[in-house]
């Protein structure tokens, strides 16, 4: 299955600032997915990132708050903008591998203070 | 509405016992996934179930799928402490552009 390198693994940020999370996949993939997982909760899809087009955001998530880049078929970034304590979560990127299911990055644990 | 209901949400059991986690979903799906998550870690893929009657086994874990009942089960046989984790099912729905919906997760604690 695909190997995803995600960084940073964790960060503590001041409110009002922004953090960019990077995911690098070891092979080309069409779609990359960005999730948020709040403590003790399940996964919530933020957006789907396709190379060469704008990301598709799920209800409750907007581009101004969570801008996404997808410059090529192996890389994507998610920025959490103008952070507040409510943004404290684990953020995960994911890709699909047919017959293997979805593979996840190691996650970014974000704490906003 | 696309729904995935997982139960129980919390399970505490003794080593050596058997138990089953259930995953019900609301409408037609073409595949169902089971994942494991250890505290502070990312998600690890356990099983991908593609068709009615599919059964997959890995060690003490066995997953099955009944598409007619819209139900998948994850059965744990003779549980050991190392299986303590949170288990998620996720369903890919055909009717909504193959959207993937996650269950709430089952936190499993296995006591020695």
Q: Looking at residue A99, what is its pLDDT?
A: 67
User: What is each CA distance from B24 to A44, B72, B111, in whole angstroms?
Assistant: 18, 7, 27
Write out chain B residues lying below 8 Å of A44, CB-based.
102
Give residue-wise pLDDT tens across range A26-44: 999 989 999 999 999 999 9
Is the sign of the CA dihedral B104, A54, A51, A86 positive or negative? negative
Determine the distance in angstroms separating the CA of B28 from the nearest CA of chain A, rounded to an integer. Answer: 18
pLDDT of A6 above 80: yes
Q: Do residues B29 and B93 make contact, with C-beta atoms less than 8 angstroms apart?
A: yes
Interchain CB contact of A65 with B (< 8 Å): no
Write out chain A residues lying below 8 Å of B48, CB-based.
99-101
How sure is the predictor about A96, in pLDDT bands with cuts at 50, 70 and 90?
A: confident
**For range B78-82, the mean pLDDT:** 95
Q: What backbone phi and psi angles, to 5 degrees, belong to B11?
A: -145, 120
Listed in sequence order, the residues at least 6 apart from A60 whose beta carbon sits closer than 8 Å to its beta carbon are none
Give residue-wise pLDDT tens across range B57-76: 999 999 999 999 999 999 99
Of A60-74, A81-95, B44-58, least confident by mean pLDDT is: B44-58
Interchain CB contact of A103 with B (< 8 Å): yes
Give residue-wise pLDDT tens across range A79-91: 999 999 999 999 9
Q: Which two tokens stand for residue B88?
A: 């998620």
Q: Looking at residue B100, what is its pLDDT?
A: 87
Q: Looking at residue B35, what is its pLDDT?
A: 97
Q: Which two tokens stand for residue A11?
A: 């960060």
């Amino acid at each position: 299955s695909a190997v995803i390198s995600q960084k940073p693994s964790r960060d503590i940020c001041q409110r009002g600032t922004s953090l960019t999370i990077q995911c690098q996949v070891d092979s080309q993939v069409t779609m990359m997915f960005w999730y948020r997982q709040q403590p003790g909760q399940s996964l919530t899809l933020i957006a789907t990132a396709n190379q060469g087009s704008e990301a598709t955001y799920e209800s409750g998530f907007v581009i101004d708050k969570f801008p996404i880049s997808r410059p090529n078929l192996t890389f994507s970034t998610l920025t959490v903008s103008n952070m507040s304590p409510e943004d404290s979560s684990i953020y995960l990127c994911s890709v699909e591998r047919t017959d293997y299911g979805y593979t996840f990055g190691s996650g970014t644990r974000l704490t906003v203070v | 509405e696309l729904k995935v209901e997982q139960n129980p949400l919390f399970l505490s059991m003794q080593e050596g016992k058997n138990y089953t986690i259930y995953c019900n979903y609301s409408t037609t799906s073409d595949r169902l996934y089971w994942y494991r998550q250890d505290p502070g870690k990312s998600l690890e893929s356990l099983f991908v179930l593609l068709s009615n009657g599919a059964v997959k086994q890995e060690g003490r874990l066995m997953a099955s799928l009944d598409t007619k009942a819209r139900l998948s089960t994850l059965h744990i046989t003779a549980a050991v402490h190392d299986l303590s984790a949170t288990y998620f099912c996720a369903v890919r729905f055909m009717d909504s552009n193959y959207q993937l919906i996650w269950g709430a997760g089952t936190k499993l604690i296995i006591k020695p």
